[in-house]
Amino acid sequence: MIAGLVLLAGGSVVGLFGSLLGLGGGILLVPLLTLGFGRPLREAVAISLVSVIVTSSAGAGVYLRRHVANLRLGMVLELFTACGALVGGLVAFALPVPVLEGMFAALLAWVAVSMLRRREPPPAVSAGAGAEVIPAAEETGGVGVGVGVGAGVPVQPALAPAMVTGAAGQGGAITFAQPMSFAATLSGPGYLVGRLGLGAVGAVFAGVVSALLGVGGGIVKVPLMNLGMGVPLKVATATSNLMIGITATSSAVIYLLRDEIDPYIAGPVALGVFVGASVGARIVNRVDTRLLRLLFVVVLLVTAVQMALKAVGM
């Protein structure tokens, strides 16, 4: 009985801190389950994927209601992330576990360095650096959560409806003198989506990373859309969150059907992450996350070292 409560509490802490810091649940859950609870890495990745889907669905629901996410672009890119996730989900069973542990250690170190280098967003308007799901708690009814990694994203309400509705191809504000390319039809108010080929390749990579390591892949998708395809950061963050659900599902079903998901562990952990993230979304604007983030960088680096040592059998 105690173990069930500990798992629930562990998931809640991960959800809370992920929400406050704008980190993906996976980056925290996988080390917790492997190093903390001694679970096999693949099982931890599978459980993490389930939790990532929970937070993604809740957050995407809010983002869509506020018309922040670009549904059309998200659906096109998620076709490629899903392909990557399919491949990653299969490769995960072929790769030796120490290789996966080494990759995860590298990811932890990368995220820690990214957090250190990130510019501090104004606390009044931000849910922390790069929250991938950062709906205001009062709007979400406590569903809002923070997952994923990207650059700082303001917790502003959705784009003003007058702007949102200007989506190209839907009678919006952007007008085109010539017939629109497919990429242009995925554009939104005030921005033109470009380099769809680059986006497709990057999305496949994000899907592979997600499936192999049990993370949402926002750390790849948000910069890809923002810097590579010309999508505003806020829209990129919301759209990335929307895509996580299908990306993670594509590989999670492989883990499920290969009996890598233990429902006795996945249940309390996913529930805990949901509750913790909901609480985090409610208090995020009242918490100064600067010190928290510094402490967290240390935790991430220590965890990265532990995971690397585990990978080399020490």
Residues between 11 and 50 with contacts to other proteins, criterion CB under 8 A: 37, 43, 50
Amino acid sitting at position 95: L
Give the C-alpha separation, 147 to 153, whole Å: 12
Of the candidate residues 30, 219, 224, 261, the single one contacting other proteins (CB under 8 A): 261
Give the C-alpha separation, 211 to 218, whole Å: 13
In three-state secondary structure terms, 126 is: strand
In three-state secondary structure terms, 294 is: helix
Residue 270 binds to other proteins (criterion: CB under 8 A):
yes
CB of 51 to other proteins, least distance (A): 9
Give the C-alpha separation, 303 to 272, whole Å: 21
* Tokens coding 279: 């609480």
* Listed residue (251, 300, 299) closest to 106, CA to CA: 300
* Listed residue (87, 119, 89, 92) closest to 103, CA to CA: 92
Give the C-alpha separation, 7 to 272, whole Å: 8
Window 230-249: residues binding other proteins (CB under 8 A): 245-246, 248-249
Beta carbons of 36 and 114 less than 8 angstroms apart: no
Window 132-191: residues binding other proteins (CB under 8 A): 140-141, 143, 160-162, 164-165, 167, 170-172, 182, 185
Residue 95 binds to other proteins (criterion: CB under 8 A):
no
State which residue, 171 or 313, has the beta carbon closest to other proteins.
Answer: 171
CB of 309 to other proteins, least distance (A): 23
CB of 119 to other proteins, least distance (A): 30
Residue 110 binds to other proteins (criterion: CB under 8 A):
no
CB of 143 to other proteins, least distance (A): 6
State which residue, 2 or 124, has the beta carbon closest to other proteins.
Answer: 2
CB of 266 to other proteins, least distance (A): 6
Residue 229 binds to other proteins (criterion: CB under 8 A):
no
